[in-house]
Amino acid sequence: MTATEAAIHTTRVGELITESLKASEEYQKPVVISITEPSSGLKVDAILARDGLRAVPKAVFDEYRNAPERRKGTSTLTRLESLIDHINRFKDSDSVLFAHDDRKAPRLTAVLDYHSQGADGAPRFGQHRSVFAFPLSDEWKAWIAADGKKMPMIEFAEFIEERITDIETVDNIDDLSSGIREYIGAARISNIASASKLMELSNGLQIHETSVIKQANKLSSGEGQIRFESEHTDANGAPVDVPGLFIICIPVFAHDGYYRIAARLRYRKTGEGIMFWYDLWRTDLVFDDAFDKACTRVKEETGLPLLVGAPE
């Protein structure tokens, strides 16, 4: 074979290969077919291509529908009343409430299209939901944030003045819960500070901000007394009485009921001066009670079963 004949032969082979590839590609162009699920007989359009079989997404047809095929989505409500109204608007006999009892992130979730009841109940998508993330009140957040926090004298006084409207004057100890009364008895506290008494304390601490601490005594009544030595006048001590306990009355959740909480007032003499703080008594019980009452209300006003936990 001459060089010319060889070149012609090579060119022809290349053309044949190109034509074969083109024919193969034409043969394997994607085609739309219908496939059927054996168990249910459900038919679905699919695309058969060289890289495999792909179902046609239903979303392709959504813009041509007059209405969605089913309800789905999550509505986030910010008031308990709105949660109840939303549930009652869309619930059915199989809807279920789920209570997530995490004190850091409590919430209620209604799965409106939950699975039908019973072993033979029809499964459902569970994609239509109402969610209420309990909003903590500003008062609760402020008192919890400073609970147990040791503060210099003037800083503590300013905190008390800022939150003075949260402090309740208790005229009759019998008005308090049995738990708080037992705590007061166990701590041997004979006197509960009123709002005006704490304001006096706040003013007294600010007056003596630059004074020298002479004595800091703990009395048998559960109260304390601090004696200051003035730097500006003479050496006469000026006592400031420190109550042993006070009561705050605040809501746990925004737009919710109020709870009385005992706050044990404490102080300690340090090299930098007297440090003040308070310890709130059993806020876990208060929180749980507020959460349980809200859940019970939703359960009763919607008529739905309530499970503690999270839905699948």
**299 lies in the same domain as 264:** no
Token look-up 């359009």 returns 45
How do residues 287-308 score in pLDDT, each as one tens digit? 999 999 999 999 999 999 999 9
**52 lies in the same domain as 21:** yes
Q: How confident is the model at residue 143 (pLDDT cuts 50, 70, 90)?
A: very high
**24 lies in the same domain as 142:** no
**88 lies in the same domain as 181:** no
**277 lies in the same domain as 149:** yes
Cβ–Cβ < 8 Å for 46, 31: no
**Closest by Cα among 250, 173, 240 to 206:** 240
**106 lies in the same domain as 224:** no
Let me know if residue 257 belongs to a domain. yes
Check residues 232 and 30 and name the one with the higher pLDDT.
30
Note the pLDDT of residue 235. Answer: 40
Let me know if residue 129 belongs to a domain. yes
- Alpha carbon distances (Å) from 229 to 3, 71, 236, 238: 119, 73, 6, 7
> CB count, 10 Å around CB of 51?
9
Q: Which is it for strands 52-55 and 73-77: parallel, antiparallel or unpaired?
A: unpaired
Let me know if residue 23 belongs to a domain. yes
Note the pLDDT of residue 49. Answer: 74
Note the pLDDT of residue 227. Answer: 52
Check residues 50 and 9 and name the one with the higher pLDDT.
50
- Share the mean pLDDT of the chain: 82
Note the pLDDT of residue 121. Answer: 86
Check residues 122 and 226 and name the one with the higher pLDDT.
122
DSSP 101: -
Check residues 116 and 274 and name the one with the higher pLDDT.
116
Let me know if residue 147 belongs to a domain. yes
Q: Which is it for strands 128-133 and 73-77: parallel, antiparallel or unpaired?
A: parallel
In sign, the C-alpha dihedral spanning 154, 158, 163, 164 is: positive
**258 lies in the same domain as 199:** yes
DSSP 253: B
Q: How confident is the model at residue 142 (pLDDT cuts 50, 70, 90)?
A: very high
Distance of CA 229 to the CA centre of its chain: 48
Let me know if residue 300 belongs to a domain. yes
- Domain end: 23, 38, 64, which one? 64
**193 lies in the same domain as 171:** yes
- Domain end: 64, 88, 115, which one? 64
Note the pLDDT of residue 262. Answer: 95
Region 20-42: what's the mean pLDDT? Answer: 68
DSSP 164: G
**81 lies in the same domain as 29:** no
How do residues 199-238 score in pLDDT, each as one tens digit? 887 777 765 656 555 555 554 444 555 555 544 443 445 6
**192 lies in the same domain as 118:** no
**142 lies in the same domain as 272:** yes
Residue by residue, DSSP assigns 14-39 as HHHHHHHHHHHHHHT--EEEEEE-TT
Q: How confident is the model at residue 19 (pLDDT cuts 50, 70, 90)?
A: low
Let me know if residue 17 belongs to a domain. yes
Show the domain range for 111. Answer: 73-134+291-308
Cβ–Cβ < 8 Å for 267, 276: yes
Check residues 243 and 290 and name the one with the higher pLDDT.
290
- Alpha carbon distances (Å) from 222 to 205, 266, 294: 19, 10, 36
Cβ-Cβ contacts under 8 Å for 223 (sequence gap 6 or more) = 189, 190, 191, 241, 242, 243, 244
**178 lies in the same domain as 213:** yes
Let me know if residue 94 belongs to a domain. yes
Terminal-to-terminal C-alpha distance of the chain: 76
Total domains present in the chain: 3
Region 49-69: what's the mean pLDDT? Answer: 75
CATH number of the CATH domain containing 83 = 3.30.720
Let me know if residue 22 belongs to a domain. yes
Q: Where are the beta strands (DSSP E) in the chain?
A: 31-36, 43-49, 52-55, 73-77, 96-100, 107-111, 128-133, 151-152, 167-168, 212-218, 224-229, 237-242, 245-251, 258-270, 273-280, 306-308
Region 122-136: what's the mean pLDDT? Answer: 95
